[in-house]
Amino acid sequence: MRSTSNQPSNPSSKNYLFFSKLMSSFKKTTFFLTLFIVHVSSSCNQLDKDSLLSFSSNFSSFSPHLPPLNWSSSIDCCSWEGITCDQNNHHVTHLFLPSRGLTGFISFSLLTSLESLSHLNLSHNRFYGNLQNHFFDLLNHLLVLDLSYNHFSSELPTFVKPSNGTGTGNSSVIQELDLSSNSFNGTLPVSLIQYLEEGGNLISFNVSNNSFTGPIPISIFCVNQLNNSAIRFLDFSSNDFGGTIENGLGACSKLERFRAGFNVLSGDIPNDIYDAVSLIEISLPLNKINGSIGDGVVKLVNLTVLELYSNHLIGPIPRDIGRLSKLEKLLLHVNNLTGTIPPSLMNCNNLVVLNLRVNNLEGNLSAFNFSGFVRLATLDLGNNRFSGVLPPTLYDCKSLAALRLATNQLEGQVSSEILGLESLSFLSISNNRLKNITGALRILTGLKKLSTLMLSKNFYNEMIPHGVNIIDPNGFQSIQVLGLGGCNFTGQIPSWLENLKKLEAIDLSFNQFSGSIPSWLGTLPQLFYIDLSVNLLTGLFPIELTKLPALASQQANDKVERTYLELPVFANANNVSLLQYNQLSSLPPAIYLGTNHLSGSIPIEIGQLKALLQLDLKKNNFSGNIPDQISNLVNLEKLDLSGNNLSGEIPVSLTRLHFLSFFSVAHNNLQGQIPTGGQFNTFSNTSFEGNSQLCGLPIQHPCSSQQNNTSTSVSSKPSKKIIVILIIAVSFGIATLITLLTLWILSKRRVNPRGDSDKIELESISPYSNSGVHPEVDKEASLVVLFPNKNNETKDLSILEIIKATEHFSQANIIGCGGFGLVYKASFQNGTKLAIKKLSGDLGLMEREFKAEVEALSTAQHENLVSLQGYCVHDGYRLLIYNYMENGSLDYWLHEKSDGASQLDWPTRLKIAQGAGCGLAYLHMICDPHIVHRDIKSSNILLNDKFEARVADFGLSRLILPYQTHVTTELVGTLGYIPPEYGQAWVATLRGDVYSFGVVMLELLTGRRPMDVCKPKISRELVSWVQQMKNEGKQEQVFDSNLRGKGFEGEMLQVLDIACMCVNMNPFKRPTIREVVEWLKNVPRNKD
């Protein structure tokens, strides 16, 4: 099953709904106009009125922007909104309530008494329920039924003809049935289709954008050939239909549009589809269809749209395809088509879009006559094996706006005739064998509308023109994207680029440019993507680059226009072979300067580029320290400083880069302890290799006390006076240590006169312990305190048992990590399991204060909390002891475990939300003093063996940041869960916890992470994406595909509304946790 939110985006899929409504648009317009024609003199039938009142009692309005319906018993129902009555008998004939902001469970049995009802339109609302047998009673007299864009679910009912031959046994008169964009599932019942077709009236059938499975019963729709089947529109797209496409469509003599794209259909295209000569559209993209495009397609002379892209088609394009003279869109890209472009294609002179990209087509492209394509706006022939020169006849296509011929075997030069394409805004001819870069640039400057120019991987070893006056200073004034990578250009970076004031992205990578990086690059006002990697550049990192206006702030970067690309572009010239087409809108704000000969220090001003997402400076000669100011790049996702001569320590402040998914400082001269916490807990040893003086996780090189002291030193050049003091202090410390060790050895001999046969060799709690004192020097420092259980019983536990149970706190036993430290699984000999959290951070609390805080936390006891069982202070570390949760965290099940999300059905997820809410409510309302959690997230919601929720990590902030009610330097919570108001005041509040809990509910509903940097910017943040989808009326598309079609859509919608109230931007409009718990408790189960 597939969530439609993950469907590939393409122009044709966006038009599905438009065309599905086209045939009934005149009728619906008429219905809408009747809403304003009120016949006051009429009085509706009382039975109809009572039925409508009963029907409306089950739903309500969810939109505060729309007035309530005027359906009142005191008003004549023929005057109600959306109701039209027959002027003669005053019976209701039309019920028309699309996009009315209504929600509720729909029972169609309440409408069966409306015997004159012929048109029912409830589309674009939030109605839910399933279609029961009363559905057939409605179909007996309905002409039009439109339930699209709602939340109806479950399988469609099968039709059983009554034995007495009455009731639902009558033939259907339905003409238009639209069930698209709901959550229906299962197979399409053959009996239902037969019932709909046997009346011979069905014109339009649309079940797109659901979760149907099984084969498409094509043949049944066309069995009434002898009865002159009326079907004209069939849409099965965006489901999970599988198997082959049946024969039978050829019998649908009136069929005009057939859509079944975005499924998992396989096999060949049935030949008899080409007998349906009325077809004007065939749309089968993104399936697994194989075989060839049959020659019979040329019989469809009325065809205007043929979409077969992203399948497994083989063989040639039909030789006589030119007979399809009405064709406007031919989309055959991303297949395995072979052969040449048929010469007859030139007869398709109505083509607007022709896309044959990513096939194995070949031949001399210049031999094809393009001159007849007078309407052609988009031509994409990229990634084939075409040869010859740039086709001269292309220049007769005066409407051409986007042209891609990239990744072929074209030769020759750019002709001045291209200037006849005055509408051309996108030109990509990369990765060919073109020559004369100077001539090409001088000609192309004359294309005044050109905004994207991709010339990479051509003009090998030529000299690119450099001077400002070489290129027309008034040329390229519309250029926003320029690709000149992989050409082996020499000399300096051309100075005429300075004139391109609209430039946003430039790729000069994989050349041999030398000299310094020009300072004027930093003055281009909209530049946000720079790739100068793999060149011979020298000099310093230009300070001017740190002042790029488009990277100075996220607000400035958001203002950069990215809507002008008619076709996708490659992100980098050296990725061409990977066929990774990335829209420019998803290109990250980035600076790539890797693999050059740059030197000097990395300027501290780099921290001014607030919008920067990727910084790559690898394989240069940069020296000095890593600037602490890099931590100001709060959105940074990639930081590669490997292969330089950097020294000093890795700034601890980099742990604040919460989006950092790639980090490397390998092969430098760095020293000291590797920072821990945040994203640094996820980086492997390869990120740090080649630095012999680094220590700590994850390179398995323990830090000495000297390295730890160095890591906290303020100055690397102490004065002589300080050195003398340090020498005296160290000498005194060593003498004292020797004395203590001597006394300890003597005392051990007195206790154990038999020698060392009972000697306990107690290893350090961690190979990176920052204490050189043997643990048994201070027994008090290894004290384990366990709190009494409910029966006031206290168990004994020693630090030795903990160390043994965690296998000396081995990495293999780590079961969690977060801002407060690592969590280890402890397995004891008696079968007991505990979770041991080793706190990290500023443990500034005195011993007495720490114990007081921990004992206060131990009083928080609730069935939905991971209650504290005890604590231990050992070897400079502080341990907290908890019950072990068998099923780990909610985060693990939703996002980490491969099949975890599919095992969490909706009742389980609702139970988790209800339980976690109760735990948080206890902290907010009952616990004394009240506790603000500060870090509610799915990884802090643990699950026991019954998948009951337990809130963890509450109150820990007081152990790390003692007696502070606000945060000054540390980020409160985890990115994606942090309330917006924390950015201004940094004050952790109860309402902030409610926001975070709302995000967790959205995770449960969608199965998505709060932040996903791999997704396009528009859907990267879960909260904003869900709110946008709600605003667009696409709520049904946000639900996890594992939950759809299971009959719980009504409940999920209610929880979605609760979650959205919790994540309100205004904290004072959020509900209290008490209200949230009450609402979740009252979420009704859909029993119908």
Catalytic residue numbers?
Answer: 935
What CA–CA distances, in Å, run from 562 to 429, 451, 557, 583, 787? 21, 11, 10, 9, 60
* Residue 300: other Cβ atoms inside 10 A: 23
Q: Which residues of 625-654 are buried (b: 16+ CB within 10 A; e: fewer)?
A: bbbebbbbbbbbbbbbbbbbebbebbbbbb
Distance CA 569, CA 1024 (A): 27
What CA–CA distances, in Å, run from 440 to 408, 434, 817? 18, 9, 56
- End-to-end distance of the chain based on CA atoms, in angstroms? 22
The token pair that represents 734 in the structure block: 């060593």
Residue 505 · residue 478 · CB < 8 Å = no
**To which H or E segment does residue 802 belong?**
helix 799-805
- Cα-based angle 108, 113, 114 (whole degrees, multiple of 5): 90
At position 112, the amino acid (one-letter code) is: T
- Dihedrals φ, ψ of 1014, to 5°? -80, -15
The token pair that represents 751 in the structure block: 């206790």
At position 146, the amino acid (one-letter code) is: D
Residue where the block lists tokens 């996002």 = 895
The token pair that represents 786 in the structure block: 């366990």
Furthest C-alpha separation in the chain: 115
What CA–CA distances, in Å, run from 935 to 956, 957, 993, 1075? 10, 9, 7, 20
The token pair that represents 938 in the structure block: 């799915």
**CA-derived radius of gyration, the chain:** 35
Any known ligand binding at 1087? Answer: no
Residue where the block lists tokens 């395995």 = 336
3-state secondary structure of 311: coil
Distance CA 667, CA 731 (A): 36
Residues sharing a CB contact under 8 Å with residue 650, sequence separation 6 or more, in sequence order:
626, 665, 670, 672, 674, 675, 694
Q: Which residues of 326-340 are buried (b: 16+ CB within 10 A; e: fewer)?
A: bbbbbbbbbbebbeb
Distance CA 842, CA 878 (A): 11
* Residue 611: other Cβ atoms inside 10 A: 22
Decide the pairing of beta strands 233-235 and 240-244: unpaired
Distance CA 341, CA 811 (A): 60
Residues sharing a CB contact under 8 Å with residue 464, sequence separation 6 or more, in sequence order:
437, 438, 441, 484, 487, 489, 491, 494
Decide the pairing of beta strands 433-434 and 409-412: parallel
Residues sharing a CB contact under 8 Å with residue 1052, sequence separation 6 or more, in sequence order:
906, 1005, 1039, 1043
The token pair that represents 6 in the structure block: 């993950």
Residues sharing a CB contact under 8 Å with residue 945, sequence separation 6 or more, in sequence order:
886, 887
Q: What is the DSSP string of 957-1010?
A: HHHHSTT-SB-SSSPPS-TTTS-TTHHHH-B--HHHHHHHHHHHHHHHHH---S
Distance CA 1051, CA 153 (A): 12
Residue where the block lists tokens 């015997």 = 115
Residue where the block lists tokens 């039909």 = 318
Alpha helices in 39-79 (DSSP H): 46-56
Query: Which residues are part of a known binding site?
Result: 838
Output the known binding site for ATP: 838
